[in-house]
Amino acid sequence: MIAPETSRAMHADQPLRNPSYPSNCLHFASPFMEAPSSPTQTQSPPIRLSIIIVGAGLGGLATAIALAQTGHSVTIYEQTPVLGEVGAGIQIPSNSTRILFKLGLEPYLAPYVTEPESISFRRWQNGKIIGKTRLVPNFVDHFEAPYYVVHRADFHSALCHRARDAGVKIELGARVVGYSAVGGSVTLADGTEHSADLIVAADGIKSVARMVLLEGQEMSFTRPGFAAYRAVVEVEKMRNDPELSWILERPALNIWIGDSRHVMTYTIGAGKAFNMVLSHPDSSDPSTWNEKTALEDMKAEFQGWDPVLTKIIGLVDKTIKWPLMSGSLLNRWRLGKLVILGDAAHAMLPYMSQGAAMAVEDGIALARSLSHMRTVEELQMALEIFQTVRIERAGQMQEASLLNGQLWHFADGPLQEARDAAMAPEVEGRPFSHSPNQWSDPATQMWCYGYDSERAIDVAWGKADAGPQDVRSVL
């Protein structure tokens, strides 16, 4: 038996440290805890690299900002002659917002973002709320960052401006057609070659770099048999209709869920447009899709659903149809001086709204891992640690996204009724310890939105520094 004096002595003056498992138990003590020191604070001088990034999409730009902010020289090669993004709305969840703010994006995003107060899951037939996640103030209180929605083009523009202000060089009309992983170089379509200490390929789902990294093999894709229509409705059309105007009174995400289908909606453009994503079964070849009948086909898919929803769908003037697919779990993201990230490495279904967020996490994790280098020779260790940590995280998020595709799409029956009953406490404001709504489920919520990319890298480096073992054996 341990004497009381001994027991007290064991805990006296020991600093509180965040646990290695997902937990908010020490959130109350955050004002009293010392911030972990950056690895670069103990290095003199820090290692500075010349880095080429291929692709100026959301992930490429976020990565460029993170790397430039830690002192590296960064040049982006982007194949399009004019910067811009297609698409409509995109969610910026708290795990991503927290990173973006650290990268100095807060004032760049402020004019464009909307902060929804909640996420409501609605029954397909009548719009009854069957699940509800309270975002304001809960997510700021729990995860120290807001949950935003924004037009994809505005998000991209904010990243572009921040990247240029951070000293990132962006070369447009520069299509990369070849990579040398060993030599650390890229070849452009015009025949010119450019070298760097590190090549980061953020070149999307059709990645050229991935083929090089996988030595000519292509990543296999899972096609779950779904496609999504994307559309935007002018808010004024809805505001003038008393049957629809209520949905605009407070910013919120609303998701109607039913048999093999769902519709996600929210306002974007600082509340000026109503964004819609309409998922439905479709295993056909996208090359056979008829753009001329897309609008008619979309409306037919949701006949008989909640009259409020179908009335909103009736206001849509045009739509674009997108195939949905999930990439397979890769066991390698790097080769020599080449590393891939973002959709090139982990394309996933949009059902957790985490695709772009994972690319943002990739970027800051890569910058953090490089900051641990004490010599240039440790580049391979830095890339190995980055790869190992991020493969696990992105793979789990792919899994969570696929699971939502099942949870939302139950046909009416016993399983659907059990799901709805399990979400009832969050709607009614009663305590709950689990929920089929992964935005609300306490364990999933902590893992998803409370994840700290930099800390995960620091922990992995700490294990690698503890001994001469192979990096993979200690992660």
Task: Provide mean pLDDT across the span 435-451.
Answer: 97
Residues 6+ positions from 5 with CB-CB distance below 8 Å = none
Provide the pLDDT for residue 429.
96
Residues 6+ positions from 109 with CB-CB distance below 8 Å = 92, 100, 148, 150, 155, 158
Instruction: Give me the architecture of the 50-111+152-220+328-408+442-474 domain, per CATH.
Output: 3-Layer(bba) Sandwich (3.50)
Among 253, 272, 276, which Cα is nearest to 88's? 276
| 14 confidence band (pLDDT: 50, 70, 90) | confident
Q: For residue 142, give the 3-state DSSP assignment.
A: helix
Residue range 387-410, pLDDT digits in tens? 999 999 999 999 999 999 999 999
Extended strands (E) in 326-463: 326-327, 334-335, 338-340
**Mean pLDDT lowest among 30-34, 216-220, 277-281, 431-435:** 30-34
Residue range 52-91, pLDDT digits in tens? 999 999 999 999 999 999 999 999 999 999 887 777 899 9
Q: List the catalytic residues.
A: 230
- Cα–Cα distances (Å) from 42 to 37, 46, 282, 427, in that order, read 9, 9, 55, 49
Rounded CA separation 326/38 (Å): 35
| 465 confidence band (pLDDT: 50, 70, 90) | confident
- What element of type H or E holds 227? strand 226-234
In the block, tokens 């083929």 appear at: 211
- Cα–Cα distances (Å) from 24 to 15, 177, 430, 447, 452, in that order, read 17, 46, 20, 10, 12
Against a cut of 0.85, is the pTM above it? yes
CA angle, residues 312, 153, 54, in degrees to nearest 5: 140
Residue range 156-205, pLDDT digits in tens? 999 999 999 999 999 999 999 999 999 999 999 999 999 999 999 999 99
Residue 97 tokens read as 């917002």
